[in-house]
Amino acid sequence: MKQPYTRLSRLLALGLSFLLFLTSCKKDNTQQPETSYATLGLYELQLSDADHLLLMHITQVGNQPIDDYSRFDTGSTGLVLDADGMLPASMFNASGFTISGDSLVYSGITVTNKRDTVSYGIAGLSTVHLYGNIAYATVKLGDDNGHVTTTRLPFLIYYKCVSGESGETLPPHSFDVFGVSVLDGPGVILNSPLRHFKLPAYLASGFKLGSLNFKALITDKVTYVPGLLTIGLTKQQLFSSGFISHPIASETNALIEATVQYDGNPAASYATFDTGSSGFSNLETGIKGNNNTILSGDDKITLSTRHGFNYNYMAGVNSNPTAVQTTPYPNSDVNIFSINFFDHHEYLLNYENYSVGLKNN
């Protein structure tokens, strides 16, 4: 008489196992939501009402702890760091690094014998020149507020920074730069440090920068702003988060085609948005010359793209300062919009398909 109950028990056990199998299959087929690789805070510094800096806190290079606030720069490419505080003073001087052979290695940092010079600024107005060598190391971005470490990447470690106008040697760390723009092509070594992560297959290599909100800043005080930088782009961020996408006109910088005017006068046909330009925006007439005119106020600047993005502002000395210039170079056709653009706009750069996303906020 016990056998029917045994069969029934077996049937119930088989049924329970089948249900567990179905539940297990259902769990396996549930897709987890796509998330970015990392979100970091950045630091903002207000030098004046019209002059601001955006900074990345770098706390380790290789195995060497450092405490460096580098300029977060959407207008240049590559990490550029002063050797001061990273290498012992006995390893370098104003003439260069002491290298016997192909390279020197210190605390997980490899400094090669390949010299390079990086320059920033606008020729004829204000420039700096940094003299150094190509080096390689992992880099820790961020601090106790949140951090992430890159894979091993190339960067310029410099031993001297010189003013292009006066020839004066500037103090250490005068121009540490965290350049995140695009620069690809034959012979290119330095590129954006944000390209050096092992991302999941569903993420596109790139970053999103939130709006900066200068009104919350206090002059001469460094302010931490959480969540400004997103590393690794999801499909939602690329296609359905309100960004207007623009193809990059050149793989040597994040330039987009745009119609730009100042008080109805035409400016050049390309634009870039540059957090590294902390003071003035620069509008280029495209005419060869060597003139520079600062707009004094009540001058309306308009930018529009064929993809539907519009940006307008009134230029003034103390608010959105803007210069109109001709340069010594023929056919110069790039308008540079300063960090003030980012006060009310979000910015996205996709390294994989070479596009810039812009969003009014």
For the residues of 168-237, what is the DSSP string, one character each?
PBPPTTTT-EEEES---STT-----GGG-S---TTSEEEEEE----GGG--BT-EEEEEEEEEEEE-HHH
pLDDT, mean over the chain: 86
Which one-letter DSSP state was computed for residue 100? S
Domain spanning 234-360: which superfamily?
A: Acid Proteases (2.40.70.10)
For the residues of 1-33, what is the DSSP string, one character each?
--HHHHHHHHHHHHHHHHHHHHHHHHHHHPPPP
Apex 339 CA angle, 292 and 324, nearest 5? 15
Helix or strand (DSSP H, E) at 119:
strand 109-122
Tell me: pLDDT of 327 over 90: no
What CATH architecture applies to the domain 42-216?
Answer: Beta Barrel (2.40)
Interval 141-170: pLDDT, tens: 999 999 999 999 999 999 999 998 889 999
Q: How far apart are alpha carbons 332 and 223 in whole angstroms?
A: 36
Give residue 13's pLDDT.
40
Q: What is the dihedral of CA 338, 339, 340, 346, to 10 degrees?
A: 120
Give residue 21's pLDDT.
38
Give residue 330's pLDDT.
53
Strand partners, 47: none
Confidence grade of residue 326 (pLDDT, cut at 50, 70, 90): confident
Q: How far apart are alpha carbons 137 and 360 in whole angstroms?
A: 37
Confidence grade of residue 333 (pLDDT, cut at 50, 70, 90): confident
Confidence grade of residue 9 (pLDDT, cut at 50, 70, 90): very low
Interval 217-251: pLDDT, tens: 777 888 999 999 999 999 988 887 899 999 998 77
Tell me: pLDDT of 17 over 80: no
Interval 198-212: pLDDT, tens: 999 999 999 999 999
Contact in structure between 73 and 275 (CB atoms under 8 Å): yes
Q: How far is CA 205 from the centre of its chain?
A: 12
Confidence grade of residue 18 (pLDDT, cut at 50, 70, 90): very low
Instruction: Indicate the range of 27-36, 119-128, 213-222, 229-238 predicted with least confidence.
Output: 27-36
Give residue 32's pLDDT.
57
Give residue 24's pLDDT.
45
Give residue 10's pLDDT.
38
Overall average pLDDT of the 259-268 stretch: 89
Confidence grade of residue 6 (pLDDT, cut at 50, 70, 90): very low
Residues 6+ apart with CB under 8 A from 296: 316, 317
Give residue 290's pLDDT.
57
Overall average pLDDT of the 249-261 stretch: 88
Q: Which residue has the higher pLDDT, 256 or 333?
A: 256
Give residue 214's pLDDT.
80
Confidence grade of residue 337 (pLDDT, cut at 50, 70, 90): very high
Interval 302-315: pLDDT, tens: 999 999 999 999 99
- CATH 2.40.70.10 boundaries in the chain: 234-360
Give residue 11's pLDDT.
32
